[in-house]
């Protein structure tokens, strides 16, 4: 298994690359950021650590359902910024909304048979 420091370095490099691309080409940076690179990398590392098809299926499906509550954040933040709200307040509001929606998904999802 890859040491934790190497995993962290690889993840950090992805974030740095996205921020550098976004600084020069905002829409291209957004495109790269929207790619499920972290999810794919996480699945690869999880598979290497525990090559279990059912475990991976549960992980991938749960990832799908947890992506949905994160999406409104990407509409709330720009809306707040365009209405003069400071970046840090808009970011905090977007994150707070996402946490609330995650909690809602965790509470409601299993009632609909979702394995979260």
Q: List the chain domain ranges.
A: 1-51, 57-116
The C-alpha atoms of residue 28 and residue 34 are separated, in whole angstroms, by 10
Residue (of 32, 37, 45) closest to 6 by Cα position: 45
pLDDT greater than 90 at residue 116: no
How many other C-beta atoms are found inside a 10 Å radius of the C-beta of residue 109? 17
Look at residue 1 and tell me whether its pLDDT is greater than 60. no
**Structural contact between residues 52 and 70, judged by C-beta atoms closer than 8 angstroms:** no
Asked whether the whole model's pTM tops 0.85, one would answer: no
Element (H, E) at 109: none
Selection from 41, 3, 38 nearest residue 18 by Cα: 38
- pLDDT confidence of residue 6: 86
């Amino acid at each position: 298994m890859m040491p934790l420091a190497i995993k962290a370095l690889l993840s950090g490099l992805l974030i740095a690359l996205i921020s550098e691309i976004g600084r020069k080409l905002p829409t291209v940076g957004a495109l790269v950021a929207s790619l499920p690179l972290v999810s794919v990398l996480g699945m690869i590392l999880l598979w290497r650590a525990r090559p279990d098809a059912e475990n991976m299926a549960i992980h991938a499906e749960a990832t799908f359902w947890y992506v949905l509550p994160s999406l409104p954040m990407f509409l709330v933040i720009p809306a707040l910024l365009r209405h003069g709200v400071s970046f840090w307040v808009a970011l905090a509001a977007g994150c707070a909304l996402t946490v609330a929606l995650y909690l809602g998904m965790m509470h409601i999802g299993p009632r609909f048979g979702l394995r979260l």
